[in-house]
Structure 1
Amino acid sequence: MNTTIPYTNLITGTMDVISQSLTIPVLIILSIMFIITVVMLGMVISEYTSRKKVSVETISKLIYDINNAISIYELETIVTNSELPKSQKDVLNNIIQSHTLSETSREALARRLVETEEEKTENTLRKTDIITKIGPTLGLMGTLIPMGPGLAALGAGDITTLAQSLTVAFDTTIVGIGSGALAYVLSKVRRGWYEHYLSDLDALTDALLDKMGRL
């Protein structure tokens, strides 16, 4: 005895309409993500060629120079003439210019400036992090959605429609996984740079605040 679940045809038909209606949006989003990933790759290459590589020895020497400074003016000179990236110099010079503030206020300002740099790095990484997470998912969706019509075409003996469905399925899988993998690599590379950048900035900020508290 066959038992038919009420409204089965209605439910399955509705789900089929929903899934098929997602085909174009998924393809568009995958295409956009792939373009963004390629653009980000170019930006990472450009950033690599232009970024200043500051060694541990340079940071160590700079901390010693800060500690040996005898005036606010000398601190400004040390920071300005250093080999640090401009963004780090700007943060440190802003802290130096706050020498008229109380120690508590100066530390609060320094903390906020460093947090702003952290927010900038997180904003830069957010795009590739998102693509890393949803790229493979959308690729899987793009694989499964055309499989329905493809299997139906197979049952009807329509090889042409089946071939078209399989082509779309394979293409979306490749684009989704490829975009996610490339975005993951870009995020890892950039995150390593930014962690080093923020670590240097934290060390220099602490040294600067300590010295300014003793001037």
Structure 2
Amino acid sequence: MNIISSGLLMPTIAVLLLLLALSVLELGGVLVEAFMERRKMNVNVPDLVGTFQGKDAGEIMNEIEHSRLFRRQKTALGEMIKHKSLPTVSRQALARRLLAGEELHYARITNRTDLVARLGPMLGLMATLIPLGPGMIALGQGDTKTLADSLLTAFDATVTGLAAAGIAFAISRLRKRWYEDYVSSLEAIMESLLEVFAREQRIKEQEAPDGRRG
């Protein structure tokens, strides 16, 4: 067991350093997202939904394209408009599928930092405990240098693991709050589109008998 645990020390430290590097990269990514993307998005959803009333699909798509929604949101809404001639139940199913796809996309992003937040403390603890065994043996033999090296490795591993986990946890919490807002806004706009399409369909159904009678 001592051989196995000793052999795990270097791989554990390597993974810890990798997790810390990933946390720093994700931190850079979230800063870019905050200052480049979120700052550009300033959409008043009720006002945007209000512009859909009384307009056809082409005009609604034009409103969406010229809004400050994100590209992914515009793409999802474009799919809804492209398939507006589907039956009501099929349109609703498509809306649910598009929303689920957006939620899955954002979940994949937050899962990366969630994984770092969970693995960081565990691997930090492993890399803390492994050197303590040789350190205790060195203490019994009066070898203070080996003990000091073991304690230094243990403390450094703890700090590295907690730093990576702390950064990743903060990023996950922030992004989840952002993405929940994105998805809820998209859901509200999709519900409005479904209502507009349903009203258009009712009007066509009411006009069809009149046309046949004429």
- After superposing on structure 2, the runs of 4+ consecutive aligned residues of structure 1 that deviate more than 6 Å are none
1:50 to 27, 36, 59: 36
User: Is the 8 Å Cα contact of residues 69 and 75 (structure 1) preserved in structure 2?
Assistant: no
Q: Residue deviations 1:82-116, cap 9 Å, x none?
A: 12111111111110010121111122112111111
Equivalence for 1:103: 88
1:167 to 152, 167, 174: 152
The equivalences for 1:1-215 within 5 A come to 15-53=1-39, 54=41, 58-66=44-52, 68-215=53-200
Look up the equivalent residue of 2:86 and give its one-letter code: L
Root-mean-square deviation (Å): 1.3
Look up the equivalent residue of 1:123 and give its one-letter code: R
How many residue pairs get matched? 199
Q: Which runs of 5+ in 2 are unaligned?
A: 201-214
If the length of structure 1 is used for normalisation, what is the TM-score? 0.89
Find the aligned partners of 2:179 and 2:55 in 1 and give their Cα distance. 31
Find the aligned partners of 2:171 and 2:20 in 1 and give their Cα distance. 13
Moved more, 68-77 or 47-56: 47-56
Find the aligned partners of 2:84 and 2:113 in 1 and give their Cα distance. 39
Q: Which runs of 5+ in 1 are unaligned?
A: 1-14
Moved more, 30-39 or 45-54: 45-54
Find the aligned partners of 1:73 and 1:43 in 2 and give their Cα distance. 35
Find the aligned partners of 2:67 and 2:84 in 1 and give their Cα distance. 20
Cα shift at 1:55: 5.0
Find the aligned partners of 1:109 and 1:207 in 2 and give their Cα distance. 14
Equivalence for 2:209: none
Q: Residue deviations 1:148-170, cap 9 Å, x none?
A: 00000011111111111011001
Look up the equivalent residue of 1:36 and give its one-letter code: L
Cα gap change, 1:69/1:86 in structure 2, threshold over 3 Å: closer, same or farther? farther
